[in-house]
Amino acid sequence: MVDVNFQRALAYIDSIQNGLAGVLRFPKRVISVSFPIEMDDCSIRVFQGCRVVHNRTLGPGKGGIRYHPTVDLDEVSALAALMTWKCALIEVPFGGAKGGVICDPKALSQSELRHITRRFISELGDNIGPYTDIPSPDLYTDEQTMSWVYDTYDVMHPGNNNRAVVTGKPLLLGGSPGRREATARGCRDVTEYFIGKGLVPGLSELKGARVVVQGFGNVGSVAAQLFQEAGAKIIALSDSQGGIFDEDGIDLRAAIAYKKEHGTLVGLPQTTTITNEALLECECDILIPAALSEQICAHNAKNIKARLVVEAANGPVTPAADRILADNNIWVLPDILANAGGVTVSYFEWLQNLENHQWELDEVNARLHKRMRKATEATVTRWQELQQRKAEMAGESEDSKEPYPLDLRTAALTIAVERLARVTAQRGLWP
């Protein structure tokens, strides 16, 4: 899917050097490991993991570590490439990376997760480092996981300031104020600025907007709170077990408390239980997929009734769905823009660690807001330029229909690919 989108962008780039697209397309480094862990019941299990660095032209690899039963090399490679384009678009000096371990974290104890993390990091060895490849939280990993990553690396590399080896750490270990909320905050900043441009019919501000959020993890739950703070009405939420709906608006404090007590949102009083599939098809102004990839695809895209889809997750809309949504005049704010707040504040955390200094929360949020707004403006401007160029192309049939739309995703990717291609050409190939 990521490669399809990359090819879509290439069709609108004239300046890329012959053959350079292949350099940008394939990962720089792929590591696969397997390792034994003694479980709590004294049995021994072998776990498999991987780490992919897609590109390091702009700087060290940067990307999350995920724990999930579905982790595989193809998925991790695609997500690493996505991180490359995200960093290039938002103008942070990192390349893309991603890693993961095949496991079910819900079935593992805290002790077992700690052992898995430490052994995985030790297997990666010097392939990670503050100037090499910098992990961060991802699916089913968090501040605690990153603390174990840091401690393991620090034990293996004594005598150095190693805090910059990983981001998403607790504040006391060198984490950045605002990092936990960064992805969701950046998502709101992008959405608020975009709808303020007047491009979405019937939607000019967040106040009063009806919002649906799929996923109630770190990104989804915080996004719901931040959008509500801006005046939006959250009418539907979901987690892995199902969804809840209330046309009058869901009480988020009650939802958070209920989830903490019961482990799910399903059953929250004064709400109607719905499926995750039905949640995506709710009539709303803004739909925020903040869970897994490929949630909106060819078979359900025609049923989406939102005015705007905001990709808080990575790859929640497939290329085929992009075409259908565009035909139905539904805007999509792409993942490499909408959820780039996380890697942006990870960059801020990395800088603070290298400087042995911690910024104030207001400074972090102000810098984040500025970068997200700049990237959104650049994406919209590029989209308008490409639309104009397309309209002016001589000999194009009026009724011709391309397999994929000229949308914000394509516009954002052309910016990212052009930037990376330009730097790659300036650095030159070695030797």
| 293-324 pLDDT, tens digit each | 999 999 999 999 999 999 999 999 999 999 99
Give the model's pLDDT for residue 19: 86
- Say if 96 falls within a structural domain: yes
CA 12 from chain centre, in angstroms, equals: 24
Boundary-marking domain end, from 124, 151, 173: 173
Return the pLDDT at 392: 81
188 and 333 co-located in one domain: yes
Strands 210-214 and 233-239, bridge-based pairing: parallel
Average pLDDT for 267-291:
97
- Taking residues 331-347, report their average pLDDT: 98
Residue that terminates a domain, selected from 338, 360, 391 = 338
Provide the domain count of the chain.
2
Ranges of beta strands (E only) in 164-279 are 210-214, 233-239, 242-245, 272-274
Q: Is residue 387 included in any domain, yes or no?
A: no
Question: Does residue 10 lie within any of the structural domains?
Answer: no
Same domain, 194 and 69: no
Is-cis flag, bond preceding 431, omega within 30?
yes
Domain that holds residue 83: 27-173
Q: How confident is the model at residue 396 (pLDDT cuts 50, 70, 90)?
A: low
273: in domain: yes
Quick check: is 98 catalytic? yes
Is position 63 within any domain?
Answer: yes
Confidence at residue 109, expressed as pLDDT on a 0 to 100 scale: 98
Res. 394: pLDDT tops 70: no
**Cα–Cα distance for residue pair 114/27, rounded to 1 Å:** 29
Model confidence at 400, pLDDT cuts 50, 70, 90, reads low
Residue 391: the pLDDT is 85
- Distance (Å, whole) CA 263 – CA 184: 22
- What CATH number is associated with residue 44? 3.40.50.10860
Whether 165 shows a pLDDT value over 70: the answer reads: yes
**Domain identity same for 57 and 205:** no
Residue 16's pLDDT band, with cuts at 50, 70 and 90, is confident
The lowest-confidence range among 226-235, 328-337, 369-378, 384-393 is: 384-393
Same domain, 106 and 74: yes
Q: Is the pTM of this model over 0.75?
A: yes
Residue 315 lies in a domain: yes
**Are both 91 and 159 inside the same structural domain?**
yes
Q: Please pick, among 62, 98, 169, 233, the residue that the annotation labels catalytic.
A: 98
| pLDDT for the residue numbered 378 | 98
Beta-bridged to residue 237, according to DSSP, are 213, 244
Same domain? For 37 and 115 the reply is yes
pLDDT for the residue 294: 95
Domain shared by 134 and 37, yes or no: yes
| Same domain (yes/no): 91, 155 | yes
Domain end among 338, 354, 369: 338
